[in-house]
Structures are given as C-alpha cells and as structure tokens.
C-alpha cells in the first residue's frame, strides 16, 4: 500500500505522483507492452525519464499552459506517457476514440481547440490531416509508429521519438521552465478532459481536475486494497474515463503495473499471459468469453463435456456462497475442490483469470447467468455504477455483497439521493468541474450544491441499501393505456440470451411493445454449423426460419418473466423482427461504447417500426451503411415479422 | 518512358534506381506451345513493376523465367548488368529473390511463425551438429532470425495468428502469411503471383497497402502479376501488358491505359 499519510499537497498532480513512484518504486515495472512477440517493460524510473524527455520536447515545440493536446491511439505505454508529459507542461490531455471516423474527430478537435495532436499511427495521422482542412488551430501533429510516414510533409509533423530526443538534447534550456510548470500544478488544475460519447446530441467535454482523479483513485484503491503488486491489462479505449482512472489514476496512486496488449486481436492471448489481478470489462466481453467457452464445450468430447456439466452445476450451487464466505458443507467443499482441480482451475487459466482478485463489470446490465458463471468459478466479479462526470465511481459492490441485479452501495465519499421523478443524483469529490465551453449544460446537470443528475432512473433497496437502476430516466415512459414502459429492462433480459446481440424495444405511447433483434453471429453461426444450416451472409442467417423460431422462443420466455412483474407487465413483446445488419457505431446507430442510440434507430428504420405496428407479415427495406473508411454503401433486404405469444396478465393475476 | 535515365524520383518521393533485371528477347516454349514470344523489358531497382494480361497470356511463365525456374529457349536474363547463368532455386534465393505463389504454397500443418521462419533458411549458417545440439551458433542464429521474423509479423499485423496452424486460416490471411515468408528472406526483388486473387475489397485494400509499405519501408523491388486492373494501375510504377505470349504494351499506368492494343486485348475487338 502507498503511504497515504504523506502530505497531500505534495501529491496534488499526476506528475507529482510519478516523481514519488520513481523515488519509491524505482526499479519495479510500471508499464509492459508486448511487441515483437516479447513483453517489453518500463520501470518507474524509466517512465519518469521518458515522460520528462517528452515534456521537454513539447516545450521545445512551444507548448503553452492550458493548451489542449489530443491523443488518438490504442493503449500503448508511449501514449499514456505522452498524456502525463502534456500535464507536466501545464497542458490538458484529451484522449479521443481511435475508431472514430474523421468527421466525428473533427467536432472534438475543433471544440477543444487542440494545438497538438499525438497520433498512434499513420491511420490516425491521415484522419487528422483530413480534418485539418477545416480546423486551422492544429499546429503540430506527432506520431508514434513511424511506419508508412516517410513520405509525409514533415514541416508540422514529428515522430514522438524525435520529440523525446530533441527534448533530451535541449534539457538545459528548458529544465527550469519545466520544473516551474510542474510546481504550478495543484489539486484544482485540470488533469484531463474526456468527451462523453453521448447517446443524444454532440459529445461534451468533461473537465476533470487533479482533485477529481486523485481523490477517486485513492478511495477506490483503498476500497479494494489495490497495491503496487497488482497487474492490470489496459485494453479499453483510452478516451473512456474508466481507462483513465485505472491506467493513470489508480496506477499512479498505487504504483501498480499497466500491461498493454500487442494488438486488439491478441487481447485474449495477452490476457492469459499476463494473468491480471485487477480486471475490468464491460458485460459484452464477459458475454463473448462465456459464449466462446460454451461453443467450444459443444465441440468437446463426451467425457469432457459431462465432466464440465457436472462440475459447473456444482459450482453454480456452492461457488458464489464460497466466494461470499457463507457456510458450505464439508462434502460440497471437497467436491468444489475436486472441480477446481479438474475444471475451474484450467478453465480460469484458459480465460486468463487465474490471478484475478478483483474484477469489475459496468456500463450495461450484466445477465445473471453470465455473472453467476464467473462468480461460481471463484472469480470475484463485482458490479459498479458510474459515469464520466463522476470520475467513474458512483456506487460499487463491496466484497461479500455481490448480486447481479444491483449496482452496489455508494462508493467512499459519494452521497446519493433519488429525485422525485426517480432520477439518481450524486455528489462526490470526483464530481467533474464543468463541461468545456458549455455552461448551460453544466448548469443543467450540476446544481449549485454540487448534486449531479445521472439521467438514470433507479431506487435504493431498503433492505440492503444497494442501488438498483431501472432504465435511462428519459427512456422510461408510458404506453397508450398508461402502463409503465421501461425498454432497457426488457432489452437486457433479451440480451442475456447468447443468440441475441442487441435488442431495441419500442412501445412508448403505443398500444403494444415490439422489438428489433440483432443476432449474435458467433453463437448463431456455430449453431448453424452444428445443424448443417448453410448461409452466405449475416443477412441470410438472420432471416432463416429456424433462427426466427429460436428467437421467438426466447422472447416468449422473456414475456413470461416480464409478466411476473406487476409494474412492468405491459412491456411484453407482441411482435418482432430480426434486423438485416448489425447495429454499428460507424452508422451512428450506437455510441462508441456500444450503447444503442434509440432515437436514431427508430428514425433510421422508421419503415420497419411502421411494419411492426401495421400487421404486415414482411417488409422490403433499403439501408445505407458506412464502411470503416467512411464510404457509404446500400443494402437491401426483405424482413419477416413474427408474432409472439403474450401472457394474459389479468387472468394470471386473478388466478393467483 | 524513362528508359534512358540513370535514376529518378517519383511523385510520391521514392527513388527509382538503375536497371536491376533485363529480359532480352525471351522466348519460352513447352514442346510445340509457345508460351512467351520474344519479349524484352526491364525492372528497375526500387520500383513496383506489374505484369498484366488476360488468362493464358503467359504471365506466370514470365514470372518463372524471372525467378530462374524456367529456362527460356531463346534470349537472356540479365541481372545487375550481367547475363545470369542458369541457377538452382537455392542459388536464386541467395541472390535475393523471393516469391509468393498463385495457389498458396505454405506448410499447412505448421504454425504461422514456423512458416515465416522457413523464409530465413538462406540466412542460417550453423552446421548440422550445432543445430542438433542447440548450442552456440545455432541458438544465437535462431534468436537473431526470430527477431527479424517478429519485425515482419508486426509489419504485416499478423500477431494474433502467430501460433495458429496455417491450415486453419482463411484464404486472405494465408496470402499474407506467404508474403511474410517471402519478406523474411529479406529479398531485394519480390515476385508476387496474383497476390490479390480471390480476395474481397477490404482484403485487397489491406494487401495493396502492405505491398506499398514493403516497397517504401524496405526499398524492395516488386514485380507482380495481377488481374484487378484498378489495383494494378494504383500500385505500379510501370506495367507490362502481355497477350498470347507477346508483349503488347509497356509503360506507366497512364500510357498503358491509353494503348489501343491493350484496350483491344481486354475489351475484345470486332473482326469485321
């Protein structure tokens, strides 16, 4: 554990923490990155030296206090170090989503007025150059990976390595200036600016101070006993607040090691090689891994399959109880131990979870089956609830109080309140300073006393004190007959089926609920393979009658479960169709963090929504799609629409 | 045409050097079939040279002549200003020529890494005993070679399949692995036989980018056969057009595009 008693004023910025770490943890590893097939590592001393060199290089290029430095690239130590270097010179790092297309990037770069842009590779440089035609305040573009860059006009283009080298060479000229700028940083200076993905409207720049980040990092690290020996894998977008808290905030506070995968595709292999002790993933990653395990078990030999099924059934029964420290009989303990030797241990090892001490999932609701699967294996997977404006943490599940349907108790230092309309409000040391250049939005989100509206509707369970989230506050509506409509609630139930990747439920102001379904190509594709069903494309598979039948069964099951809930029984789905394309952020149908933009989808597929309500059996549609490089194309399809059995709520209630 | 200059710089800033290879009046016959009829052209150092033509025009045969696999009955192949004697395949490889094949020729049961390592064969000098005992030179060499191979794996972005057996890979990736193996030999001349055949648009774009990057980063001279005209015209510095074993055009993509014989060969010509 770091020495938390040391004077807070000395540790009021990330560069200050870096200096402490170089002094205190000197030779231990700060960053690892797999490159050329080998894990390359940086000690804290090396990091401090490299960050300083980059900072000197930035001064050399004329970086001023308050400049915005955009960083676009995948998770690499060099990019993290560049962010800290920017902080050193008094500038504000602004990490951007690397998969954003040029026009999305243009808005953010324009809004923050970046003078410097640090790009991971040629692909990002190309996008920035494209944007530069409209935005003239970008003075220097800096790239990390030199590949393919030789032919470019280098008058305002520099390699990150060259900047560092020049920084080292010019240290005598800039040392004093840099020291002065580092000394100026205090708790209230801006640590980072992050753009919220925004399910509605344009992204907003959330300004977070050193106080926000460091206080949050400190309390959350204490909450889970994180320390210098921990290992994390940094693979989630750098533009996302969670990655900033984990890979910069907590890493610099506790001095743990941040590992960067070789590439996005090798993430699973790298995860296994590193075996992180502290791990974070959105539900879809856990879901994908579970789907993968299940698909592979389908192909396993009969003996292995039976062993897996037998021990997994046992694990489901006693695993969570063991994890929570509840009493379990000696025989069950022995069987669990045997299962651990034969199944759980090897499985955890394959998944890369052998050493996970604390695992978190957040961002979306996680299916109880998925959640319980990992917990029954003995992985301490917990949920947290947070947002960019709170520097992540709002509520968090303490060890031993973990459930799939709540998001936990208020995190240390966080005050929670439920507004009259059901909206969740919070106030905490991590509460953001402001939205950059947007006082109206700041005022409408954060009131004078510092309470922030989350935009989510929820309630606090009286018995446990845990928070439960129902839906986005603005999505909760009424149906034509006045009954409550909570689309997310139903969608989440649907998405818990491996075959369903996404679901979008409609029904606000209507007389019945209907749904769009996106099938999961991995799960359904594997099923098709096993059943000798040939298909040429996603579209063809999606429209297969048997796929429709399976989805219909899933929806009927969901309807039965929804019907049990008195308040929400009106949300049963009457009709559905399977979409001919995956909802995609490139088409603007989802945010970059993969949350469905409900309004955009309803608008774009208005003809399909219409067909769901006009009793037609199928509909012909044309859809525009955007390729990764920004070009557009057209796909056409005839989609079937299917009716689903609905539970008769009135009669059921009478029978009870 | 820029036949007479010693070297020049292209629009995108690459330096094209002097003559690397010259085909002088090559004629190749298989029994009574004349595959190549009196063809002359050259390949300059650092350029991307395409050979195009309809099916059966003799493109692959031409590539085999360049690689030294086929010996033409008439004509000479000059390499760096001297006539090239007939050579065994390993001698060709040592001279710095590597190639990929139209129908992928990889070791299906071996991993990608092992396949690419075979490309380093000509760079391994350790003796049999040393290799078997895994001491001294052999161990050192393996490390050096592995480093080179990893650079190429990184370059072609195939890290994720490093340990995957080639037989399990989709077609587009196999093509990339084959390119990796060829690059592992650190060739000065790279021969690509239809590197983009059977690929979808995205894979073609990736492959084009890799070819350009190889040429740009390593300065490798590239001679390629390709059917996709769009790709050829975008990639190449100069293009040779063949039809029925004859050369019907030679020049920059623009020159070739305007050549009436080429248009006739590709679009067909009415015989009335």
All residues of chain A having their beta carbon less than 8 Å from the beta carbon of residue B12 are 151
Full DSSP string of B91-149: HHHHTTEEEE-SS----TTSBHHHHHHHTTGGG----HHHHHHT-THHHHHHHHHHHHH
Whether residue B155 lies inside any domain: the answer is yes
For A368, the token pair is 């109880």
User: No. of H helices and E strands in chain B?
Assistant: 10, 12
Q: What is the pLDDT of residue B136?
A: 76
A177 or A566, which is more confident?
A: A177
Task: Give me the phi and psi of A531, to 5 degrees please.
Answer: -105, 20
B12 or A116, which is more confident?
A: A116
Nearest to A151 among B12, B153, B155 (CB): B12
CATH number corresponding to A8-224+236-263: 3.40.50.12780
Q: Is the pLDDT of residue A81 over 90?
A: yes
Q: What is the pLDDT of residue A6?
A: 47
Answer yes or no: do B213 and A147 touch at CB < 8 A.
Answer: yes
All residues of chain A having their beta carbon less than 8 Å from the beta carbon of residue B213 are 147-148
Q: Is the pLDDT of residue A266 over 70?
A: yes
In a shared domain, residues B226 and B113: no
Answer yes or no: do A263 and B162 touch at CB < 8 A.
Answer: no
Whether residue B207 lies inside any domain: the answer is no
Q: Which residue has the tokens 């309470």?
A: A451
Whether residue B65 lies inside any domain: the answer is yes
Count of pairs with CB atoms under 8 A, one residue in A, one in B: 37
All residues of chain B having their beta carbon less than 8 Å from the beta carbon of residue A35 are 154
Q: Do domains A8-224+236-263 and A283-472 have the same CATH topology?
A: yes
CA distance A298 to chain B (A): 19
Q: What distance in Å separates the CA atoms of residue A9 and residue A25, rounded to the nearest whole number?
A: 20
Answer yes or no: do A265 and B159 touch at CB < 8 A.
Answer: yes
Number of structural domains chain B divides into: 2
Report which of A201, A206, A193, A203 is spatially closest to residue A107, judged by C-alpha positions: A203
In a shared domain, residues B33 and B81: yes
In a shared domain, residues B153 and B76: no
Alpha carbon separation from A302 to A87, A305, A309, A313, A566 (Å, rounded): 58, 5, 10, 16, 43
Q: What distance in Å separates the CA atoms of residue A291 and residue A287, rounded to the nearest whole number?
A: 6
CA distance B92 to chain A (A): 29
If pLDDT is split at 50, 70 and 90, which confidence band does B272 have?
low
Query: Which residue in A has a C-alpha nearest to residue B14's C-alpha?
Result: A151
B247 exposure class (CB count in 10 Å sphere: 0-12, 13-18, 19+): buried
Q: What are A17-30's pLDDT values in tens digits?
A: 999 999 999 899 99
In a shared domain, residues B102 and B79: no
Q: What distance in Å separates the CA atoms of residue B264 and residue B272, rounded to the nearest whole number?
A: 14
Whether residue B246 lies inside any domain: the answer is yes
Alpha carbon separation from B204 to A69, A125, B207 (Å, rounded): 35, 22, 5
Whether residue B19 lies inside any domain: the answer is yes
Average pLDDT of chain A to the nearest whole number: 89
Q: What are A41-67's pLDDT values in tens digits?
A: 999 999 999 999 999 999 999 999 999
In a shared domain, residues B69 and B146: no
In a shared domain, residues B114 and B80: no
Q: Which residue has the tokens 């002088």?
A: B24
Q: What is the pLDDT of residue B4?
A: 53
Whether residue B133 lies inside any domain: the answer is yes
Q: What distance in Å separates the CA atoms of residue B163 and residue A582, rounded to the nearest whole number?
A: 30
In a shared domain, residues B80 and B191: yes
Answer yes or no: do B151 and A151 touch at CB < 8 A.
Answer: no
Q: Which residue has the tokens 């791990």?
A: A279
In a shared domain, residues B83 and B191: yes
A69 contacts A113 by C-beta, under 8 angstroms: no
Distance of CA B206 to the CA centre of its chain: 17
Query: Which residue in B has a C-alpha nearest to residue A265's C-alpha?
Result: B160
- B159–A contact, CB cutoff 8 A: yes
Domain that holds residue B128: 97-186
Interface test with B, best of A33, A35, A36 (most B CBs within 10 A): A36
Answer yes or no: do A37 and B13 touch at CB < 8 A.
Answer: no
If pLDDT is split at 50, 70 and 90, which confidence band does B141 have?
confident
In a shared domain, residues B70 and B191: yes
Q: What distance in Å separates the CA atoms of residue A113 and residue A68, rounded to the nearest whole number?
A: 7
All residues of chain B having their beta carbon less than 8 Å from the beta carbon of residue A148 are 209, 213, 216-217
Q: What is the pLDDT of residue A199?
A: 57
Angle at B254 between CA B251 and CA B258, to 5 degrees: 95
In a shared domain, residues B176 and B246: no
Answer yes or no: CATH 3.30.390.10 is held by domain A283-472: no
Q: What distance in Å separates the CA atoms of residue B239 and residue B236, rounded to the nearest whole number?
A: 7
The domain spans of chain A are 8-224+236-263, 283-472, 477-655
Q: What is the pLDDT of residue B269?
A: 67
Whether residue B211 lies inside any domain: the answer is no
Residues on chain A bordering chain B, Cβ-to-Cβ distance under 8 angstroms: 35-38, 147-148, 150-151, 262-263, 265-266, 269
Whether residue B210 lies inside any domain: the answer is no
Q: What are A130-146's pLDDT values in tens digits?
A: 998 888 899 999 999 98
If pLDDT is split at 50, 70 and 90, which confidence band does A89 have?
very high
Full DSSP string of A356-407: -SEEEE-SS---HHHHHHHHHTT--EEEEEEEGGGTEEEEEPPTT---SS--
CATH number corresponding to A477-655: 3.30.300.30
In a shared domain, residues B159 and B82: no
CA distance B239 to chain A (A): 23
Distance of CA B84 to the CA centre of its chain: 18
Read off the CATH number of the domain in which B79 is found. Answer: 3.40.50.300
Q: What is the pLDDT of residue A362?
A: 84
A74 contacts A49 by C-beta, under 8 angstroms: no
Task: Name the helix (H) or strand (E) containing A416.
Answer: strand A415-418
């Amino acid at each position: 554990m770091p020495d938390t008693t040391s004077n807070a004023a000395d540790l009021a910025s990330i560069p200050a923490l870096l200096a402490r770490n170089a002094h205190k943890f000197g030779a231990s590893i700060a960053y690892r990155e797999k490159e050329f097939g080998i894990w390359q590592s940086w000690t804290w001393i090396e990091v401090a030296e490299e960050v300083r060199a980059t900072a000197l290089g930035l001064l050399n290029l004329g970086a001023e206090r308050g400049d915005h430095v955009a960083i676009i690239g995948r998770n690499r130590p060099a990019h993290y170090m560049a962010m800290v270097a920017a902080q050193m010179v008094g500038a504000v790092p602004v990490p951007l989503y690397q998969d954003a297309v040029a026009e999305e990037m243009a808005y953010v770069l324009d809004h923050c007025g970046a003078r410097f842009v640090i790009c991971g590779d040629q692909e990002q440089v190309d996008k920035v150059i494209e944007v530069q035609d409209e935005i003239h305040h970008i003075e220097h573009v800096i790239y990390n990976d030199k590949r393919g860059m030789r032919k470019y006009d280098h008058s305002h283009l520099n390699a990150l390595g060259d900047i560092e080298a020049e920084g080292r060479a010019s240290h005598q000229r800039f040392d004093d200036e840099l020291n002065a700028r580092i000394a100026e940083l205090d708790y209230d200076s801006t640590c980072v600016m992050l753009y919220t993905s925004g399910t509605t409207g344009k992204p907003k720049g959330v300004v977070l101070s050193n106080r926000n980040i460091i206080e949050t990092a400190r309390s959350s690290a204490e909450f889970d006993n994180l320390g210098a020996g921990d290992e994390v894998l940094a693979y989630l977008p750098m533009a996302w607040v969670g990655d900033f808290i984990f890979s910069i905030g907590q890493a610099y506070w506790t001095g743990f090691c941040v590992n960067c995968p070789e590439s996005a595709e090798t993430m699973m292999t790298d995860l296994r090689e590193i075996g992180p002790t502290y791990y974070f993933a959105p539900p879809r990653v856990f879901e994908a891994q579970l789907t993968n395990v299940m698909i592979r078990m389908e192909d396993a030999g009969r003996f292995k399959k039976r062993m897996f099924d037998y021990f997994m059934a046992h694990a489901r029964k006693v695993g969570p109880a063991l994890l929570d420290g509840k009493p379990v009989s000696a025989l069950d303990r022995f069987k669990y131990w045997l299962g651990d030797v034969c199944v759980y241990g090897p499985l955890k090892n394959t998944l890369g979870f052998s050493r996970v001490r604390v695992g978190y999932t957040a961002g979306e609701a996680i299916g109880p089956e998925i959640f319980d699967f990992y917990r029954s294996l003995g992985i301490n997977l917990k949920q947290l609830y947070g947002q960019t404006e709170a520097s992540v943490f709002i509520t968090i599940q303490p060890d031993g109080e973990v459930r799939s349907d709540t998001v936990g108790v208020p995190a240390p230092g966080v005050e929670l309140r439920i507004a009259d309309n059901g909206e969740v409000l919070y106030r905490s040391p991590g509460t953001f300073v402001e939205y950059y250049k947007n006082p109206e939005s700041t005022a409408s989100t954060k009131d004078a006393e510092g309470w922030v509206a989350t935009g989510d509707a929820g309630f606090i369970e009286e018995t446990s004190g845990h928070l439960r989230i129902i839906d986005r506050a603005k999505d909760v509506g009424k149906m034509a007959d006045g009954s409550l409509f909570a689309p997310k609630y139903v969608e989440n139930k649907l998405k818990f089926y491996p075959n369903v990747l996404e679901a979008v439920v409609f029904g606000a102001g209507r007389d019945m609920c209907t749904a769009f379904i996106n099938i999961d190509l991995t799960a359904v594709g594997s099923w098709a393979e096993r059943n000798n069903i040939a298909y040429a494309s996603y579209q063809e598979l999606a429209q297969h009658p048997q796929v429709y039948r399976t989805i219909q069964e899933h929806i009927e099951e969901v309807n039965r479960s929804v019907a049990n809930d008195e308040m929400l029984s009106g949300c049963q789905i009457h009709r559905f169709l399977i979409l001919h394309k995956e909802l995609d952020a490139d088409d603007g149908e989802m945010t970059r963090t993969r949350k469905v933009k409900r309004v955009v989808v309803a608008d774009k597929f208005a003809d399909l929504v219409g067909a769901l309500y006009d009793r037609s059996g199928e509909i012909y549609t044309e859809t525009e799609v955007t390729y990764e490089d920004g070009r557009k194309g057209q796909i056409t399809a005839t989609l079937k629409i299917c009716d689903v059995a609905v539970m008769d709520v009135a009669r059921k209630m009478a029978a009870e | 045409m820029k036949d007479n200059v010693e070297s020049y710089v292209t629009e995108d800033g690459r330096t094209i050097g002097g003559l690397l290879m010259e085909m002088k009046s090559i004629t190749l016959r298989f029994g009574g079939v004349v595959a190549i009829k009196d063809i002359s052209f050259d390949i300059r150092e650092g350029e991307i040279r395409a050979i195009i033509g309809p099916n059966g025009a003799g493109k692959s045969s031409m590539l085999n002549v360049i690689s030294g696999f086929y010996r033409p009955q008439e004509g000479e192949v000059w390499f760096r200003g001297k006539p090239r004697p007939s050579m065994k395949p390993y001698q060709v490889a040592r001279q710095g020529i590597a190639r990929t094949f139209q129908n992928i020729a990889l070791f299906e049961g071996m991993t990608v890494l092992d396949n690419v390592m075979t490309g380093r064969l000509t760079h391994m000098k350790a003796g049999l005993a040393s290799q078997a005992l895994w001491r001294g030179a052999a161990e050192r060499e393996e490390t050096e070679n592995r480093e080179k191979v990893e650079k190429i794996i990184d370059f072609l972005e195939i890290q994720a399949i490093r340990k995957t057996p080639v037989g399990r890979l989709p077609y587009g990736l196999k093509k990339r692995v084959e390119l990796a193996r060829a690059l592992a030999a650190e060739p000065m001349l790279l021969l690509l036989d239809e590197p983009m055949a059977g690929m979808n648009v995205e894979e073609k774009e990736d492959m084009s980018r890799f070819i350009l990057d190889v040429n740009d980063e390593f300065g490798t001279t590239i001679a390629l056969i390709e059917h996709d005209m769009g790709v050829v015209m975008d990639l190449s510095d100069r293009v040779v057009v063949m039809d029925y074993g004859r050369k019907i055009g030679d020049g920059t993509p623009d020159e070739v595009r305007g050549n009436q014989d080429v248009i006739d060969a590709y679009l067909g010509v009415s015989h009335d």
